[in-house]
Amino acid sequence: MGIVAGLDSSPDFTRIVVCDADTGSVLRQGYAPHPVETPEGGGRSADVDPQAWLLSLGEAAGGGLLEGVQAIGVSAQQNALVPIDAQGATVRPAMVGGDRRAQVAAADLIDALGGREVWAQSVGCVPQAPLPVTKLRWFAKSEPEAAQRTALLLQAHDWLVWQLLGRPMRRTTDRGGASGTGYWSAATGTYRPDLVELALGRQAALPEVIGPAEAAGTTPEGLLISAGTGETMAAAFGLGLGLGDAVVSLGASGSVMAVHREALVDPTGMITSLADATGMHLPVVTTLNAVRALRGTAELLGMPDLEGLSDLAMKSTPGSHGLVMLPYLEGERTPNLPHTAGMLAGLRRESMKPEHVARAAFEGMLCGLADALDVLRGRGVEVRRVFLLGPAAELPAVQAVAPAVFGAQVVVPQPADYAAIGAARQAAWALGVSQGTLDPRTPPAWQGAVAQVLEPGEDLAVGQAVRQQYVSVREQVHPGAFAG
C-alpha cells in the first residue's frame, strides 16, 4: 500500500516514525526537542507558543525523512488549549499541562453546573486543572480581553493538522481528542456548547469531529493527513489494544485504562470516559500515587535507586511478613481521599526489616492500582491482559508481584514510540480507506508490540492473599472508601 508517517508532538519533543503501511515495520525515524523557554524559577511553562511545535516538527522531518510518504497521522499532547481569533492567529500562547493556575477554576465549574455527578453525567468527566474546559474558565476570568477575541478553540493535534493542511476553512478533530476537552461527551458523541459558554462566558467555534478512518484533508502536494488524536489514544492504537486489554501506566502517579464497547458514566467521577482512536471507548481511572511511593520508600531506606529497592524487596516473601503499605502519600483520588496520608500497618518485631518494608512498597503500589482496575471490572469491563508501561515496569519486584495481584496476564512491551506508531497506523487506515483497500470499520492489522509476557500461574492464590491482606487494612482504616 505504500509508506506512511506518524508524528508525536509530546510536551518536550517531536518524534516521527516512517512505517510500511501494510505491516507497520518502522523504516526510519526522526527526533527533535521543542525549543521551549524555561520560565523564571525553573520548571516547564504552562504557556507555550504553538510555533515551537512546528519548528520542532520541521527539524524532526529534516534530511528527507518524509520522502515517499503518502499519508501522515498526528498525535499530540492532550489538554493543550489553543485559542484562535477570527483571523486565524493565536490569541495567546497555548495553555498546556496540569496548569495549577486553573485549580480554583475547576472548583468554580463544578459548583456552577451543580456538582461532580452532573459533570460526570454530562460529559463523562469532572473538571480538573488540566482539562481545556477548566483552562477556558481561568482564561475568561484572568484575561477577559483576550477571551473576548477568541473565535475558535483547538487542541494541539487539531492545530498541527490545520497547519499541515495550510489552515483551511474546515477545522477538524477526532473522538479521542474531543473526549478529553470537558465539553464533548463520548457517550452521546456530541459537543456541549453550553459548557463552553459556562467556562468562556460566550460561544466559540469548535472543530468538526470526524471518524477514526476519515482524512482531515490533503495537502496541495497530495499528502493525505488523517484525523489525528491525543497521545493516550495514539499509544493505545500503536500497542494494538483490543477488547479484554487494559493498560497500567506507572508514573509518579498511576493510571489504568481499558478498551470497552461503550462509554461508562460514573456518578462518583472516579472513571473518566474517553473515546479511543478506533470507534471504541477508553475508560480511565487514575491514582495519585504509584512510583512516588517507591521513591519515598527508597529514600526512607537509604537506597540510591529503584533498582536497589527492587533487589532488596526480592529478599522478602509475598505478604511482606504481614506489613501492608497504603501508598496514599499525596492523598488519593482512587479511592477519593484527598486529605489522607499513607500508612504502614502490621509492624511486628520480625517484620521490621528493610527488605519487608521494600516489598510492602511494591505490593502497596500494585494493590492500589489493582483497586483502580477493580473499579473498571465492577462496571463490566473485561480484563484478560494488562499492559504494564513505564520504566518501573522493568523492575524485577514489579514483575514478580503484578501478575498475581492483578489476577491477569501481564504484558511488558519493549520501549518504543507507541504514540507515533499509533499515529502512523491511523494514517495507513485513512490511506487504505481513501484507496478503497481498507474497511472504515476495521483498522490495518499491524504486527503487535514486542513484549515480555508474564503469567500469574501458580502464584495466583498467593497474590490474591496479598491483595486480601491489603484490602482488609484499607477497609479498616477507610471503611466504605469505594462504596457507591
Taking phi over 0 as left and psi of -120 to 50 as alpha, with beta for the rest, 55 belongs to alpha
Distances (CA, A) of 56 to 10, 11, 51, 448: 11, 11, 9, 29
β-bridge pairing 71-76 and 224-226 = parallel
What is the H or E stretch that residue 136 is in? helix 132-142
Rounded distance between C-alpha atoms, residue 141 and residue 158, angstroms: 25
Is there a contact between 164 and 175 (Cβ–Cβ < 8 Å)? no
- SS3 state at 373: helix
Give the start-end residues of each E strand in 111-266. 152-154, 172-174, 184-185, 190-191, 208-210, 215-218, 224-226, 229-230, 244-250, 254-258
**H helix intervals, 314-417:** 354-377, 396-406
Averaged pLDDT in 10-residue chunks for the chain of 484 residues:
94 96 96 77 73 97 97 96 97 90 94 95 93 97 97 98 97 97 96 98 97 96 96 96 97 96 90 96 96 98 97 98 97 93 97 98 98 97 96 97 98 95 98 97 92 94 97 97 82
Predicted model pTM: 0.93
Q: What is the pLDDT of residue 40?
A: 54
Is there a contact between 361 and 285 (Cβ–Cβ < 8 Å)? no
Rounded distance between C-alpha atoms, residue 203 and residue 134, angstroms: 15
Phi then psi dihedrals of residue 441, to 5 deg: -95, -10
What is the H or E stretch that residue 477 is in? helix 460-477
Is there a contact between 470 and 367 (Cβ–Cβ < 8 Å)? yes
What DSSP assignment string belongs to 230-248? Answer: EHHHHHHHHHT--TEEEEE
Beta bridge partners of 212: none
Q: Residue 121 contacts by C-beta under 8 Å, 6 or more apart in sequence?
A: 265, 267
Is there a contact between 280 and 257 (Cβ–Cβ < 8 Å)? no
Is there a contact between 464 and 407 (Cβ–Cβ < 8 Å)? yes
Q: What is the pLDDT of residue 45?
A: 63
Q: What is the pLDDT of residue 466?
A: 98
Residue located via cell numbers 490474591? 464
Distances (CA, A) of 382 to 263, 277, 283, 405: 14, 19, 12, 16
The 10s digit of each residue's pLDDT in 31-56 is 999 986 655 544 556 899 999 999 99
Burial grade of 41 (CB within 10 A; 0-12, 13-18, 19 or more): exposed
Q: What is the pLDDT of residue 46?
A: 81
Rounded distance between C-alpha atoms, residue 59 and residue 64, angstroms: 11
Q: What is the pLDDT of residue 44?
A: 55
Residue located via cell numbers 477575541? 149
Q: What is the pLDDT of residue 483?
A: 81
Q: Residue 189 contacts by C-beta under 8 Å, 6 or more apart in sequence?
A: 175, 209
Q: What is the pLDDT of residue 99?
A: 79
Q: What is the pLDDT of residue 484?
A: 60
